[in-house]
Amino acid sequence: MRVVIAEDHALLRDGLTRLLEAYDFEVVAAVDNGPSLLPALVEQKPDVAVVDVRLPPTFTDEGLQAAIAARAAVPGMPVLVLSQHVEPLYARELLSDRKGGVGYLLKDRVSHVAQFIDAVRRVAAGGTAMDPEVVGQLLARHQPLAALTAREREVLGLMAEGRSNGAIAGKLFIGEKAVSKHISSIFTKLGLPPSDDDHRRVLAVLAYLNV
């Protein structure tokens, strides 16, 4: 599986490269600045891009903007964004394009190797991987969620992290049928069309939460 990495800190960039290669990913490009990222993504067309939000020269949103531009040039290119802090605005921008896998993780998650590798693979496969802290902030700022029960809010948070019905059931120690009922109720209360596709339903929920 081919990967492009964008990270300006040399040690972290090298660490990401070594980590991914240890799990049978092929790092085809590793850049340290915004201007180099877009051409690398368009030329290489990787199976997934792992991109820091803030890159030189301005350290604002070069990484994100390059990733968005690359997805416009190569529709559906999977992108996993890494950030030092929870920045809901960046999550909203990334999620505005619902084609292809997307993810948003805090850099601290990289130290949880199994979780990080799972997130990279999930995004590469067209899925969604959202950091629980980002999800928590999005949930907290959306008032219509008051209509949901406490259990439904738990299920919604796990859905937004990209978990399947089976994974949600295991996390909450309930049956999959119960999870399905909760999800149906959530969609009804939030006015969202139900979907059997995990990726589309997660994006629909997160897009709603980002309004």
Residues of the chain with pLDDT under 70: 91, 96-98, 141-143, 198-200, 203-204, 207-211
Give the span between the Cα atoms of 64 and 56, in whole angstroms: 12
Preceding omega of 78 cis (within 30 degrees of 0): no
The secondary structure of 61-105 as a DSSP string is SHHHHHHHHHHHHSTT--EEEEESS--HHHHHHHHT--SS-EEEE
Q: Which residue, among 127, 6, 14, has the nearest Cα to 62 in the 3D structure?
A: 6
What does the pLDDT read at residue 199?
67
CB 50 within 8 A of CB 1: no
Q: 95 and 154 in one domain?
A: no
* pTM for this predicted structure: 0.79
Q: Quick check: is 108 in a domain? A: yes
Give the residues across from 112 on adjacent strands.
none
Give the domain-ending residue among 68, 100, 130: 130
Domain of residue 203, residue span? 142-209
Q: 101 and 50 in one domain?
A: yes
User: At 198, which CATH number?
Assistant: 1.10.10.10
For the chain, the distance separating the N- and C-terminal CA atoms, rounded to the nearest angstrom, is 34
| Number of domains the chain is built from | 2
φ/ψ region of 203 (left if φ > 0, alpha if ψ in -120 to 50, else beta) reads alpha
**Chain segment 100-125, per-residue pLDDT in tens:** 888 889 988 888 899 899 999 999 99
